[in-house]
A and B are shown apart, each in its own frame.
Chain A
Amino acid sequence: MGGGNTKEKVRKGPLVWLGDCPIIRHLRDWGIKYSLWPVHFTTACCGCEIAAFSGPKYDAERFGVLPFFSPRTCNLLLIEGTITKKMAKAVKIIYEQMPDPKFVIAMGSCALDGGLFWNSYNIVRPHKIVPVDVFITGCPPRPEAVLRSATMIQDKIGGGRLRLSEYR
């Protein structure tokens, strides 16, 4: 089936059978895949590489990734960099405001396990507050790595072509 958590939300009955028909399923996955819109939410110094990623050299819009302003109309959350305790409340509220199916990319070493500031008194690991789909390493990661993670999520939605041993 498609990505995200559509399984819990779809009501039982004839709608489930209709949603499983191959034609409808392929159309739905094609639509989600090529219009992943991230929320306009810069969190830390990796934000510079996101700005470069939307710039002209590493064009993000050719993959369908267009930053949009309201969380109620977006389906991708890019957590860039360090999350502090004050910012963690904002991340949780925004994650709950986004509609299903939604995806989360954790970008940078600070989002993995603290990175350079691992022993600080004020940071939180993002995978403890929201479920993360793709992790990117680097400090800051190159914009090509962020493009690759967007294509990884597109493969995941496309259904079953992503094998774990390839991306070790």
Chain B
Amino acid sequence: MSTDKVLNKVKGICKETRTKDKRIVLIVEKEKMKELAKELRDMGFDHVKSVTGIDYPQKGQMEVIYHISSYQDPELMGIIVEIRTTVDRDRPELPSLVDIWPSAEYLEREEYDLMGIIFKGHPELKRLLLPEDYEGIPPLRKDFKIPTEGIEA
């Protein structure tokens, strides 16, 4: 149905695709992200729902996931598109999608604050939730440990 229509248009740019029910997953290189984003915006997907960063210290990588959907098109309203890309853990930089989708402004800023991922081209990349004079590693990384219940190892 509509998921096949969406997939046929973007198959060339992505590295790998898969679908499950109404969720389309597109895995892409970070250099081609802006091209893919422009393609999806012209198809009718007009806002970003969430930006997630996941830390994989054993592989030395971090994964960034965007969830996109549409407000106006009644066919695309029920579909969620997931754009996944990986960056290096020591130099986590990738291009920001704020000039294509302005709704990603505060979502990307939160991931910069809590995970340390730098979005190049963001209009206002500053601390949002933590105090301004916070020093140390970003809290959501796996090497920042907090106390847990039970017997400490």
State the A residues within 8 Å of B (CB): 85-86, 119-122
Contacts and interface: CB of A to CB of B under 8 A. Distances in A.
B146 A121 contact: yes
Interface residues of B, number: 8
Contacts of A119: 146-149
Contacts of B144: 121
B146 A85 contact: no
Nearest to A87: B131
Q: At the interface, is chain B mostly helix, strand, loop or mixed?
A: loop
Q: Which of the listed residues B130, B144, B149 has the most CB atoms from chain A within 10 Å of its own CB? A: B130
Contacts of A121: 139, 144, 146
Contacts, number: 11
Interface in B106-153: 130-131, 139, 144, 146-149
Contacts of A122: 130
Consensus secondary structure, chain A interface: loop
Contacts of A86: 131
Nearest to A88: B131
A121 B137 CA distance: 12
Contacts of B130: 122
A124 B105 CA distance: 30
A85 B131 contact: yes
Contacts of B139: 121
A82 to B, nearest CB: 14
From A85, A86, A119, A121, residue with most partner B Cβ within 10 Å: A121
A121 B146 CA distance: 7
11 contacts: A85-B131, A86-B131, A119-B146, A119-B147, A119-B148, A119-B149, A120-B146, A121-B139, A121-B144, A121-B146, A122-B130
